[in-house]
Amino acid sequence: MTHSVCLPSRLVLCVEGPDADTFLNGLLTQSTLGMAHGDKRYGALLTPQGRVIADMHIHRSKLGFDLDCAQLVAPEVERRLRLFKLRSRVTIFTDPSKIVLGLTDEEAKESSTGPERSIGRAGDPVEPAFLPSFESARIRAGWSEQGVDFGVEDVYPSDINMDFLDGVDFKKGCFVGQEVVSRMKRRTNVRRRTAVLRLSTDLKELPSPLFVGEEEIGAITSTADGLALARLRTDRLTIKDGLPCCETSGGHLAVVVGPSELLLELAKG
């Protein structure tokens, strides 16, 4: 049985009008062309320097697009989109009648792909008791949440594994920040990633630093059910019993267990 939870830290920014698809396609990391009503894709709006202003789940609506983004950055996203509007036939507005829903069930909690999201209406029946289940599934799948795991303009797409999550379409043509992001992709090694860690102890405070020896290599930002999300320097990880790992500030072992694309990247050296 699927359970719906309202994600209170998210809101819906609408972009509607006859030019909505081409307008967004020239700005976001993800293609918005060829999407049918009900289709969903993952992408982001970047600075010209390639940093993430906001990541977002892009939903095709009847009149345009519903952008599921973090509430803390939605006003800035709206402001920037309006700056680019020029003569495009689009309307940009926040719709308070729409809410972001997280969908979870027992299979989602164990899935490596993460829980689904959808756009609902204020007043739709929700089950708040299942929010921890949604969070557990999100962390297990390695999905970073803006406002929890990263802020505004402080990460690059690869820092939060957007390339692993099909959040960057390198073949679609220009988007804001493309030159920097494309150059980073051509690197042989990406040094900073978001990892799923298996912890050997509970943590009382977040964010919590991670170490290899005396060197701080990153920080844990989310935890659930013995797993954690951490943004860290992958080139600083050590190997123990054949597994990449580091230590918490208390000296407890933290082992990298995902995502699978990161494990493959680490195996290749």
Q: Return contacts of 183-189, CB within 8 angstroms, 24+ apart.
A: 184/50, 184/156, 184/158, 185/158, 189/235
How is residue 120 annotated by DSSP? E
All structural domains of the chain with their residue ranges: 3-160, 192-268
Burial class (CB in 10 A: 0-12, 13-18, 19+), 169: middle
Cα Rg of the chain, angstroms: 19
Residue 49: the pLDDT is: 95
Q: pLDDT under 70 in the chain at which residues? A: 106-113, 188
Superfamily per CATH, domain 3-160: Probable tRNA modification gtpase trme; domain 1 (3.30.1360.120)
Does the domain spanning 192-268 belong to CATH 2.40.30.110?
A: yes
Residue 108: the pLDDT is: 55
Which two three-digit tokens encode residue 90?
A: 């689009």
Residue 1: the pLDDT is: 81
Q: CA distances (Å), 237 to each of 165, 212, 251, in order? A: 22, 7, 14
Which two three-digit tokens encode residue 87?
A: 């003569």
The structure tokens 């949440």 sit at 145
